[in-house]
Structure 1
């Protein structure tokens, strides 16, 4: 007899971990996937509301302001760059009025939502696999995925990359800023060799550095993260609660922390694009 997949219980409590199933939708981001696997986001990965995503992001310790910026930006309607370039530029008053009506429109280029993508009550929704749309938030040279141009695509977790990431630890106990910087430099070189269509410029590099900074700040002490935490996040896409991680209660990870941690990673990598 072949393997039988046991369906998940329908009454899984919010916060309880269960790995995603074959029909569930997920992102290229291990942290967002972990939130879905714990039920802080719809476990199916479908029809996610902005309020649900923002609450889930706050669950790991991001500030409400940073969570609001990230969430409301991606819930903008996805822009067709070719169509936008052909449109007549609106007047200054029209642009001011548009910003008054929707302040997040200034971040419109990060929009992932399809036109008229709403639920039965007219509320904006998106599916988690829309995070994989190239050139919005997703970028080449992921820590745990191939590039979208490659055969494997950018949604499939590559266990060999995760093992290489964990093996980057100098002492086998923690991954420091320097360890992670060295790993990203190796990933950049590997993708330059393996992907002729690689797109990795200053914006993609800054985004990649900010992702590392966020992981170090939210799940570590800002300068390192325990290997067992990183293994849970990247290999199982699980919040490392069993390993001892807890959300910071005395402070949240906001804009200032993100700026500082991003600069720290950029400095450690030391390359200019």
Structure 2
């Protein structure tokens, strides 16, 4: 017997099929689910692995989005690792990645520990490392991180307001304790971009709101908080998302340059700490 469905029923059936298809297509495009996370479980670094002052790159290495030993890094490897692991696009990394090549004696490769070279992309007033002139600028320091960890009290998230306040507080701390403190437009831009990025990769790239639990794990353990519910954002982290957050953090930090300091980039291991003042830049 042949059964005919009313037109309304057919329309409903087609709508359900279309919705199911759209749902499947959305799932296929889900940035988090595109990754085989079984291949990217957290592994703490060994004593022979190279790690540096950047918690983001260290985290990517700890999850295998970069070589787990933190060595033989090239610009394409860094770009792909950041895209796969955090959905961060290369336009936000290209300047830092190119500068990082100067930290190594090799022509086209570097390792994570090389990035502790002071005056390259490493800088004073870090959110989680000591200043170069005061101690170890390569390893996580809980005392330094407390400024960020204790910010935005009474809330379970960090945002651009708290990030700007933390940046100002760390600047004040470094300026008060470090006679060699450097604070030019270069350091300001690097610090502000880093603040914007931790909010975007651990939270919502559009709002800059990031759960404190995720951010704390990211800095303290250099781990993606997968077990705690973190998911790689479907929103690409690009200049379009970064711009408004960067500007809001910059305003909140109330940054002012130090008179007489000029921006410069250290281009080799063993270079002087202050080429302007010692005359080697002339």
- Normalised TM-score (structure 2): 0.71
Residues 194-229 of structure 1, C-alpha deviations (whole Å, 9 max, x = no match) = 111111122211211111111222222233211101
Partner of 1:234: 219
Is structure 2 residue 247 aligned with structure 1 residue 260? Answer: no
Q: Which runs of 5+ in 1 are unaligned?
A: 1-11, 79-111, 119-123
In structure 1, what is the equivalent of residue 73 of structure 2?
48
User: In structure 1, how many angstroms separate the alpha carbons of the residues matched to 2:240 and 2:252?
Assistant: 19
Distance in 2 (alpha carbons) for counterparts of 1:75 and 1:180: 25
- Structure 1 runs of 4+ aligned residues shifted over 3 Å read 64-71
1:200–1:67 distance in 2 versus 1, CA, 3 Å: closer
8 Å contact 1:61–1:253 — kept in the other structure? yes
1:245 aligns with 2:241: no
2:71 match: secondary structure: coil
Distance in 2 between residues matched to 1:138 and 1:193, nearest whole Å: 19
SS at match of 2:158: strand
Structure 2 match to 1:113: 104
Tell me the alpha carbon deviations over residues 8-60 of structure 1, each in whole angstroms, 9 at most, x when there is no partner. Answer: xxxx9631102222222111111111011111112221222333222111120
Match of 1:24 in 2: 49
* TM-score between the two structures when normalised by the length of structure 1: 0.73
Distance 1:231 1:253 in 2: 20
The number of equivalent residue pairs is 218
**Cα RMSD for the two superposed structures:** 2.1
Deviation, 1:128, is 0.8
Number of the residue aligned with 1:197: 180
Matched, 1:74 2:90: no
Decide which moves more: 40-49 or 29-38: 40-49
